[in-house]
């Protein structure tokens, strides 16, 4: 085997090992920005939820982290004042009083949730937010909320749910977490081009 072939084999093996290492660590990359909650002016429970985010928001509220909850990602086409949607009903059933809940019906994307929340916080003179979502969402949320809050004194802390399907080391072994992580990597690239 000549020197060029040996070099090519070594280079291939090195690149393959590096690619495998990056792949395995994607779970840690996408969930890295999660933090422990601190007291805040509002708890923002993001849309795209199957109920885990609502449960986490209610848990934070009942633990005294904030007196206000903002539910985002509720479709205005199907929302009627005085007729709470399923997310409102669920969070009320978990012990959050109706008058503590605000609803954002105009946000359809993660970017809009951050920008519209920033505007809501400005109007209500709220300065800090706990933002609740699922672990693989944290990387994109961190970049998005930093950009949306740029030029303001508003602050945010990202708080994750605790889904049974999530393991940052073995994310690729669970179908749901695998799909979520791969989707988030694509969305991160898109958001980098479009918004950051």
The b-or-e profile of 78-107 (16+ CB within 10 A means b, else e) is eeeeeebeebbebbbeeebeeeebebbbeb
CATH number for the domain spanning 154: value is 3.40.50.620
* pLDDT bucket at 21, cuts 50 / 70 / 90: low
Residues 99 and 115: their CA atoms lie apart, in Å, by 23
Task: Yes or no: say if 88 and 103 are a contact pair by the CB < 8 Å rule.
Answer: yes
Residue 36's pLDDT is 97
Residues 130-183: tens digit of each pLDDT: 999 999 999 999 999 999 999 999 999 999 999 999 999 999 999 999 999 999
**pTM, entire model:** 0.89
Residues 52 and 31: their CA atoms lie apart, in Å, by 16
Length of the chain in terms of residues written: 196
Residues 132 and 152: their CA atoms lie apart, in Å, by 21
Task: Yes or no: say if 45 and 132 are a contact pair by the CB < 8 Å rule.
Answer: yes
pLDDT at position 49 over 80:
yes
Average predicted confidence (pLDDT) for the chain: 91
Residues 70-83: tens digit of each pLDDT: 999 888 887 777 78
Q: Which domain holds residue 181?
A: 3-194
Q: How many domains does the chain fold into? A: 1
Residue 177's pLDDT is 95
């Amino acid at each position: 085997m000549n020197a060029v072939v040996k070099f090519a084999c070594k280079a291939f093996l090195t690149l393959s090992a590096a690619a495998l290492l990056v792949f395995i660590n994607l779970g840690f990359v996408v969930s890295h920005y999660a933090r422990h909650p601190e007291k805040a002016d509002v708890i923002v429970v993001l849309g795209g939820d199957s109920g885990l985010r609502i449960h986490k928001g209610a848990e934070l509220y009942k633990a005294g982290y904030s007196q206000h909850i903002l539910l985002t990602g509720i479709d205005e086409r199907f929302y009627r004042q005085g007729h709470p949607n399923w997310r409102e009903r669920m969070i009320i059933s978990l012990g959050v009083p109706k008058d503590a809940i605000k609803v954002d019906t105009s946000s359809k994307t993660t970017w809009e949730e951050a920008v519209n929340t920033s505007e809501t916080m400005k109007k209500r003179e709220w300065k800090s937010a706990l933002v609740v979502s699922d672990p693989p969402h944290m990387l994109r949320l961190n970049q998005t909320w930093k950009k949306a809050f740029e030029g303001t004194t508003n602050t945010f802390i990202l708080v994750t749910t605790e889904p049974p399907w999530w393991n940052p080391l073995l994310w690729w072994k669970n179908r749901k977490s695998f799909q979520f992580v791969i989707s988030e990597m694509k969305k991160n690239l898109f958001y980098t081009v479009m918004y950051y």
